[in-house]
A and B are shown apart, each in its own frame.
Chain A
Amino acid sequence: MEWQAPAIVLDARPLGESGAVVSLLTEAHGRHAGLARAGTSRAQASLWQRGNLVEVRWVARLPDQLGSLTGELVHPAAALAMEDPLALALLSAACAVADGALPEREAHPRSFQGLLSLIARLPGGAAPLLPDYIRWEAELLAELGYGLDLGRCAVTGGTEDLVWVSPRTGRAVSAAAGEPWAARLLPLPGLLLGQGGAVGPSGPAEWLAGLRLTGHFLGKDAFGHQHKPLPAARERLFDRVAALAGADPVPAERGSDA
Chain B
Amino acid sequence: MIEHDPVEHLIGLLAKLPGLGRRSARRAVLRMLMQPEQAMLPLAAALRDAAAAVRRCRLCGNLDARDPCGICRDPNRDHGVICVVEGVAELWALERAHAHRGLYHVLGGTLSALGGIGPEDLAVQPLLARIAEGGVEEVILALPATVDGATTAHYLTDRLKPAGVPVTRLAQGVPMGGALDVLDEGTLAAALKARRAV
Partners in one complex: yes
Binding site for B on A (CB under 8 A): 11, 13, 17, 43, 45-47, 49-52, 73, 76, 78-80, 82-83, 85, 88-89, 91-92, 96, 99, 231-234, 236, 243
Interface size class of chain B, counting residues whose CB lies under 8 Å from the partner chain: 20 to 34
A49 with B186: CB separation less than 8 A:
yes
A232 with B113: CB separation less than 8 A:
yes
Which of A89, A99, A234 is close to B151, meaning CB atoms less than 8 Å apart? Answer: A89
Asked if A17 meets B147 with Cβ closer than 8 Å, knowing A73-B186, A231-B113, A236-B113, the reply is no
- Cβ of B118 under 8 Å from chain A: yes
B186 with A232: CB separation less than 8 A:
no
26 contacts between A and B (CB under 8 A): A17-B18, A43-B184, A46-B187, A47-B184, A49-B146, A49-B147, A50-B147, A51-B147, A52-B186, A73-B184, A73-B186, A76-B188, A79-B187, A79-B190, A80-B189, A82-B145, A83-B150, A83-B193, A88-B150, A89-B151, A91-B147, A92-B113, A92-B151, A232-B118, A233-B113, A236-B113
Q: Give, as a whole number of angstroms, the nearest-CB distance from A213 to chain B.
A: 21
B189 with A76: CB separation less than 8 A:
yes
Give the residues in chain A near B113, CB-CB below 8 Å. 92, 96, 231-234, 236
**Which of B145, B172, B186 has its CB near the most chain A CB atoms (within 10 A)?**
B186
Q: Give, as a whole number of angstroms, the nearest-CB distance from B23 to chain A.
A: 14
Q: Whole-angstrom distance between the alpha carbons of A59 and B150 in the complex? A: 32
B190 with A82: CB separation less than 8 A:
yes
Closest to B145 in A: A82
B114 with A231: CB separation less than 8 A:
yes
Closest to A11 in B: B114
Give the residues in chain A near B147, CB-CB below 8 Å. 49-51, 78, 82, 88, 91-92
- Cβ of B5 under 8 Å from chain A: no
- Cβ of B181 under 8 Å from chain A: no
Q: Give, as a whole number of angstroms, the nearest-CB distance from A210 to chain B.
A: 20
B189 with A45: CB separation less than 8 A:
no
Q: Given contact pairs A82-B190, A233-B114, enumerate 20 new A-B contacts (beta carbons under 8 Å).
A: A45-B146, A46-B187, A50-B147, A51-B147, A73-B185, A76-B189, A76-B190, A80-B190, A80-B193, A82-B145, A83-B193, A88-B150, A88-B154, A91-B147, A92-B113, A96-B113, A232-B113, A232-B116, A236-B151, A243-B158
B186 with A46: CB separation less than 8 A:
yes
B194 with A17: CB separation less than 8 A:
no
Give the residues in chain A near B186, CB-CB below 8 Å. 46-47, 49, 52, 73, 76, 78-79
Asked if A79 meets B151 with Cβ closer than 8 Å, knowing A13-B115, A233-B113, the reply is no
- Cβ of B162 under 8 Å from chain A: no
Give the residues in chain A near B194, CB-CB below 8 Å. 83
**Which of A13, A50, A231, A232 has its CB near the most chain B CB atoms (within 10 A)?**
A232
Q: Give, as a whole number of angstroms, the nearest-CB distance from A47 to chain B.
A: 7
**Which of A50, A82, A92, A99 has its CB near the most chain B CB atoms (within 10 A)?**
A82
